[in-house]
Amino acid sequence: MEQKSIAGSCLCGAVRFEIKPPLAGFRYCHCSRCRKATGAAHAANIFVPQSQLTWLAGEALVRRFDLPGAKRFAVCFCTQCGTRMPHKIATTENYLVPAGCLDASPEERPDGSIFWGSRAQWYVETQALPKHEEYK
């Protein structure tokens, strides 16, 4: 059965888009650039062909930053709330979609962690951590 489109949005809700499965890739990236860009231990990056992404609202609010000197590293973000938004990858026909901005779950699961050797020294695999339902 064909999977339904998956909506995505930023924190303030001004920017909305949807992607159509199947995904071209889904992985965690531990590189130092992704850590900076997300503020997190690793990015959760989904890849979909350009033809499978549709902007629904607020595209004009999205600003792009191409990292000087990088072949393809870029980030797009909502200028109202700073949330990372999808961006077209310079060297491929794919968009990179930050998985955390999706409003529903795709059927696919991440198939790997890349730049593992670059991971933050403080990174602890989450299986090793006690789990709490809310703030602690």
CB of 19 to Zn ion, least distance (A): 18
CA 119 – CA 40 distance, rounded (Å): 11
Residue 118 binds Zn ion, judged by CB under 5 A: no
Cα separation of 100 and 60, whole Å?
Answer: 21
Residue closer to Zn ion by CB (options 70, 81) is: 81
Q: For residue 78, state whether it binds Zn ion (rule: CB under 5 A).
A: yes
34 near Zn ion, judged by CB under 5 A: yes
Compute CA distances 4 → 19, 20, 63, 105, whole Å.
9, 7, 28, 11
Give the pair of three-digit tokens for residue 91: 């060297």
Beta bridge mates, 88: 95
Q: Using the rule CB under 5 A, is 6 a contact of Zn ion? A: no
List the interface residues with Zn ion, window 79-108 (CB under 5 A).
80-81
Can residue 44 be called a binding residue for Zn ion (CB under 5 A)? no
Binding site for Zn ion (CB under 5 A): 10, 12, 14, 29, 31, 34, 78, 80-81
